[in-house]
Amino acid sequence: MAVLPDRMALVTGTSSGIGSAVARELLQRGWRVVGVSRRPGQIESPHYSHLRLDLAETAGLIPVIEEQVGPIVSDPAMHRLALVNNAALVGLLGAIEQLDPAELLKVYAVNVAAPISLLSWLLRRSHPGAAIRIVNVSSGAAVQPFPGLGAYGSSKAALRMIGMVLGVELDASHERGNRSPDVSILSFEPGLVDTEMQTTVRTSSREVLPMVEFFKKAASEGHLVPPAVPATVIADYLDGDGHPGFAEHR
């Protein structure tokens, strides 16, 4: 009888890019992976399952996650649980005064509200003995202002701050003896990665994204790294021990 994995990771945005690479890397390391994306899953593995969900529909997100993943994270046989908040929208580009409020809400739903919902659910639902690792995929735009990236950058800045706040909350909870100490969160900035998001950015006009030539030059000169590179760093973190409550990789 095959031995089932005792580690499970919930990874968003697994239909392509970094999310797909993280899922594949974890599967190679013996993890069970549940992937989430709007598009169908492309990964074939007995230890991979795919949930086709739109993270912008935040009201229906947790009920589905609870039904499909709840029994797994509450199983004492799962010694390590992970969440990789990778999925993000970058499509709302342009000057601040031109941003459409309805589209801005969608960006914040996918980039901020959905990740918060997932990480808070995992912390509430997981069994007490599990080691928990959370990775929020961030961006240089979260810490530095770039013209035309106001929606994306501000949403990533919000997610970065959520991780920092969660870190101090976990530290305080541990000091009060209310929570297992083996919970940690990483804000991970992958740099310039060869993904569909980079392609989207490069097709923008200079009027919409004044620094579009920077992204075009980075691609033409071979400065983009393959998704497998950041995926390995993320997987190492999820496998690792001794992390602080909050850490940042930039």
Of 153, 170, 167, residue with least CA distance to 90: 153
User: Residue ranges per domain, the chain?
Assistant: 7-249
CB burial of residue 69 (10 Å; 0-12, 13-18, 19+): buried
Once rounded to an integer, what is the mean pLDDT over residues 114-137?
Answer: 96
**C-alpha 134, offset from chain centre:** 8
Burial of 200 (0-12, 13-18, 19+ CB in 10 A): middle
pLDDT of residue 170: 84
Question: Which of these, 101, 115, 113, lies nearest to 19 by C-alpha position?
Answer: 115
pLDDT band at residue 82 using 50, 70 and 90 as cut-offs? very high
Quick check: 2 pLDDT over 80? no
Element housing 62 (H / E): helix 61-73
pLDDT range class, residue 171, cuts 50, 70, 90: confident
Report the percent of the chain where pLDDT is more than 70. 96
> b/e map of 165-190 (b: 16 or more CB within 10 Å)?
ebbeebeebeeeeebeeebbbbbbbb
**Which residues fall within 8 angstroms of residue 221, CB to CB, at 6 or more apart?**
none
> What's the confidence (pLDDT) of residue 3?
59
The per-residue pLDDT for range 119-129, each reduced to its tens digit, is 999 999 999 89
Mean pLDDT of the chain: 93
Q: Are 76 and 2 in contact (CB under 8 A)?
A: no
131 membership: H or E segment, kind and range: strand 131-137
Q: Are 42 and 20 in contact (CB under 8 A)?
A: yes
**pLDDT at residue 181, rounded to an integer:** 66
7-249 is classed CATH 3.40.50.150? no
Residues 10, 14: Cα–Cα separation, whole Å: 10
Any idea which residue has 């031109």 for tokens?
A: 98
pLDDT at 1: 39
**Beta sheet of 131-137, edge-to-edge order:** 48-52, 32-37, 7-12, 80-85, 131-137, 183-188, 246-249
- Asked if residue 61 has pLDDT above 70, the reply is yes
